[in-house]
Amino acid sequence: MLWLCIVSGVQEKHALKALAGWAGQFSSRVFLDTERQLLWLEIGSSLRYFGGLDALVARVASGLKALTLTATTAVAPTVEAAALLAQQPQAPPVLHLNELHAAIAVLPIAHLALLPAAIAGLQASGLCHVGELLTLPRDALARRWGLQVTDYLQRLLGERTDTRIPYRAPQSYHRRFDFAEPVQTVEGLLFPLRRILYELQGYLRGRDAALQALSVAFRHHDHADTALSLRTTDPQRDALRLFALLREKLERTQLPDAVMQIRLDVEHFVALRDTQLHLWDEEQHHDASWAELLDKLRARLGDQAVRRLGLQNDHRPEKAWCVQSEAASVELPPAFPDRPLWLLTPRPVEHLPRLLGKPERIEAGWWSGEDSSRDYYIAQTAEGSRWWLYREAATARWFLQGIWA
Amino acid sequence: MPAPNPIVRLHPPTLLQEIPGIWRGRELAPSKTCSTGYRQLDALLPGGGWPLGALTELIPVTEGIGEVAVLQGALKRLCDAKRHIVFVHPPYIPYAPALLSAGLPLPRVLWIDVSDDENAHWAAEQTLREGAAGAVLLWSQALADRPLRRLQLAAETGESLAFIYRPVATLQNASPAALRIVLRPTVGALGVEVLKARGGHSGAVLLAIGTHV
């Protein structure tokens, strides 16, 4: 086994857990120590998948950078050795147990994960480096400092395995991000928003999942939360794409007050579609960029502005269609009469244009209490426009309802 | 009125594509077109159809004269090829039964219903840039030249058909569009008059559109 330890500088428990969730993309075995604020990833079994140690370490490093963390990492065959090495800047990776002794012997005793009293005592007895401690007989150490020290050394050197319980990511995703100072501007929200979306992306990769809906809430002092919800056409897990969509929404949102906290919640996950991974096919490519476009349009213009059309089974022209969020494949009933491209809310006609041809009688809706017996005509105005008019049978009044564009 | 861009000849041609706003060597006929479905009109247009990846400006003298019907052949062809048609900011409700009779399946049609020109232009531009749709039809009241120029550039990044419907008042301004057309009703027909065609010449045809009864 090979362990990569991350010293992230992240202190809050919930933020460390989010980081552990993010780390799931690199390893199926993640250890989290919230007291020591450390994170370990078992990477021995992921090396091949990520193309070797250097590639994996570089991926982790650039991921941490995207989270705007200044972290140090180290690689060693035991959990405690990785933690010890990670306290040094740029410690070279140690891959095998037999190289471990040499690598840690020169490190100061003060860096060992022992109780402060034990460290002070060891230093008081003249020990300075780990190597000196390792030369002392274990039973003497145990008698003097208790089993704590020898147990630790055994785990450090790989003589005993660490029996920690791996971190298990939650089934739904909830992340909160607290600000030390209330944030007044939208710009101030963008950085942390992007960061928590990167964490989410890592979590999704780790679960091999994607999402189609997420909600973000901005918590204020004296006002109700400002809530944004995002729905995507295709399953998504790309942080930057989600960020672009949320940013579009956010920049069109009026914040009533400074923001104290951001919350990000995802309740449901879906499988990522293969089409997003393989874009060689022209049609699939168009489908993918089409879905991306729809999301972008919805984010800025709102769901109600991005419309799909449908048919309704009603004889009244104004009820024969509807707006839908998704469009279904439908067909007109056979022998459906010709209809104008533009439909208008009926407006009274003052000067009747020249009527062409015979009327079409449409009677419908009487059962709902609306008497809508109408005679529809095609008409041509003096300017050359073709109109769709009807005469209401009950009142003999004329209305314009359509235009042949 | 802005001075027309000079015709620039540079080699290699890829260089030109990196300089936005400069008219490319294809001052000549557009490289890709989509047949209009009308033989006389195809014969009139450079490249033999509506230009792909370029802006076409349509100026109907009034509404309801077949100003959209003239596109029907091309739009149907795109739908058959599983591409999408986007109506941006149309003046009225695009009526679903009429779309279906015109051979445009509803899942292929998107209606962007916005309240102002700015959002309409933005939506059209995004759609063109993504190259995700087969055709974009935008109704715009904007008189200025700049939004049109932006659209023309956006159109060039993709390979969509890009149509903008503009009011008659815009006729007095020059246009950055690759193709500029005035649509006039005549008796039982639609007059299609090409005012400007990049790589082509002006001219007019009458199409049998709007022959009800």
A308 contact residues in B (CB cutoff 8 A) = 106-107, 109-111
B127 touches chain A (CB under 8 A): yes
Regarding predicted confidence, which is higher, A340 or A291?
Answer: A340
pLDDT at site A21? 96
SS (H, E, C) A218-286: EECCCCCCEEEEEEEEEEECCHHHHHHHHHHHHCCCCCCCCEEEEEEEECCCECCCHHHCCCCCHHHHH
pLDDT at site A393? 87
Of B105, B111, B184, Cβ closest to residue A307: B111
Nearest to B132 by CA among B78, B194, B84: B84
Element spanning A140, H or E = helix A138-145
| B133–A293 C-beta distance less than 8 A | yes
- Give the number of A-B residue pairs with CB atoms closer than 8 Å: 161
Of B67, B101, B130, Cβ closest to residue A292: B130
| B132–A290 C-beta distance less than 8 A | yes
Of A327, A342, A378, Cβ closest to residue B92: A342
Span A66-83, average pLDDT: 96
User: Could you give the CA distance from residue A199 to residue A64 in angstroms, rounded to a whole number?
Assistant: 9
For residue B117, the distance in angstroms to the closest alpha carbon of chain A comes to 13
A338 contact residues in B (CB cutoff 8 A) = 101, 212
Q: Return the residue matching tokens 């168009």.
A: A286
Element spanning B137, H or E = strand B135-139
Of A297, A330, A342, Cβ closest to residue B126: A297
3-state secondary structure at position B117: helix
Q: What spatial distance separates the first Cα and last Cα of chain B, rounded to whole Å? A: 44
| B90–A289 C-beta distance less than 8 A | no
3-state secondary structure at position A17: helix
Backbone angles phi, psi at A131, to 5 degrees: -55, -40
The letter for the amino acid at B209 is: I
Of B67, B94, B213, Cβ closest to residue A356: B213
The letter for the amino acid at B147 is: P
Region at B163 (left for phi over 0; alpha for psi -120 to 50; beta for the rest): beta
CA distance to A286, B12, B81, B109, B159, per residue, from B78 (Å)? 13, 33, 5, 11, 12
pLDDT at site A327? 81
The letter for the amino acid at A48 is: R
pLDDT by residue (tens digit) across A381-393? 999 999 999 999 8
pLDDT at site B12? 38
Query: Over pLDDT 90: what percentage of chain B?
Result: 70
Backbone angles phi, psi at A118, to 5 degrees: -65, -40
Regarding predicted confidence, which is higher, A320 or A326?
Answer: A320
pLDDT by residue (tens digit) across B195-206? 999 988 899 999
Span A170-183, average pLDDT: 94
| A383–B98 C-beta distance less than 8 A | no
Q: What's the mean per-residue pLDDT of chain A?
A: 91
Q: What's the mean per-residue pLDDT of chain B?
A: 86
pLDDT at site A234? 85
Length of chain B as a residue count: 213
B97 contact residues in A (CB cutoff 8 A) = 311, 320-321, 332, 336, 339
User: Could you give the CA distance from residue A109 to residue A130 in angstroms, rounded to a whole number?
Assistant: 5
Nearest to B164 by CA among B137, B128, B192, B142: B137
- Tokens read off for B202: 């002006």
Q: Kindly list the domain boundaries of chain B, sorted by start residue.
A: 28-207
User: Could you give the CA distance from residue A12 to residue A261 in angstroms, rounded to a whole number?
Assistant: 14
Span A58-72, average pLDDT: 95
Region at B195 (left for phi over 0; alpha for psi -120 to 50; beta for the rest): alpha
pLDDT at site B6? 36
Residue A275 pLDDT exceeds 80 = no
pLDDT at site B211? 59
Interface with B, mutate which of A285, A326, A404 (most B CBs under 10 A) = A404
B103 touches chain A (CB under 8 A): no
| A286–B132 C-beta distance less than 8 A | yes
In CATH, B28-207 is 3.40.50.300? yes
Which region among A23-37, A59-73, A268-282 has the lowest average model confidence (pLDDT)? A268-282
A356 contact residues in B (CB cutoff 8 A) = 212-213
Of B90, B95, B212, Cβ closest to residue A378: B212
pLDDT by residue (tens digit) across A111-134? 999 999 999 999 999 999 999 999
A310 contact residues in B (CB cutoff 8 A) = 96, 106
| B113–A305 C-beta distance less than 8 A | yes
B13 prior amide bond cis, ω within 30: no
| A403–B63 C-beta distance less than 8 A | yes
| B68–A341 C-beta distance less than 8 A | yes
pLDDT at site A279? 41
SS (H, E, C) B32-66: CEECCCCHHHHHHCHHHCEEECEEEEEEECCCCCC
B111 touches chain A (CB under 8 A): yes
For residue B32, the distance in angstroms to the closest alpha carbon of chain A comes to 17
B123 contact residues in A (CB cutoff 8 A) = 297, 301
| A339–B95 C-beta distance less than 8 A | yes
Say if CB B35 and CB B48 are below 8 A apart.
Answer: yes
Say if CB B177 and CB B142 are below 8 A apart.
Answer: no
| A344–B111 C-beta distance less than 8 A | no
- Residue B109 CA neighbour count, 13 Å, CB half: 30
| B113–A307 C-beta distance less than 8 A | yes
**For residues B151, B152, B154 and B156, what is the CA-based torsion angle, rounded to 10 degrees?**
160
For residue A49, the distance in angstroms to the closest alpha carbon of chain B comes to 33
For residue B111, the distance in angstroms to the closest alpha carbon of chain A comes to 5
pLDDT at site A287? 76
- Tokens read off for A362: 């449409």
Say if CB A280 and CB A216 are below 8 A apart.
Answer: no
| CB within 8 Å of chain A, chain B residues 42-81 | 61-69
| A329–B107 C-beta distance less than 8 A | yes
Span A337-360, average pLDDT: 95
Backbone angles phi, psi at A270, to 5 degrees: -135, 170
Say if CB B160 and CB B51 are below 8 A apart.
Answer: no
pLDDT by residue (tens digit) across B116-173? 999 999 999 999 998 889 999 999 998 888 899 999 999 998 889 999 999 999 998 8
Q: How confident is the model at residue A326 (pLDDT cuts 50, 70, 90)?
A: confident
Element spanning A93, H or E = none
Residue A80 pLDDT exceeds 50 = yes
Regarding predicted confidence, which is higher, A334 or A348?
Answer: A348
Nearest to A249 by CA among A227, A266, A268, A221: A227
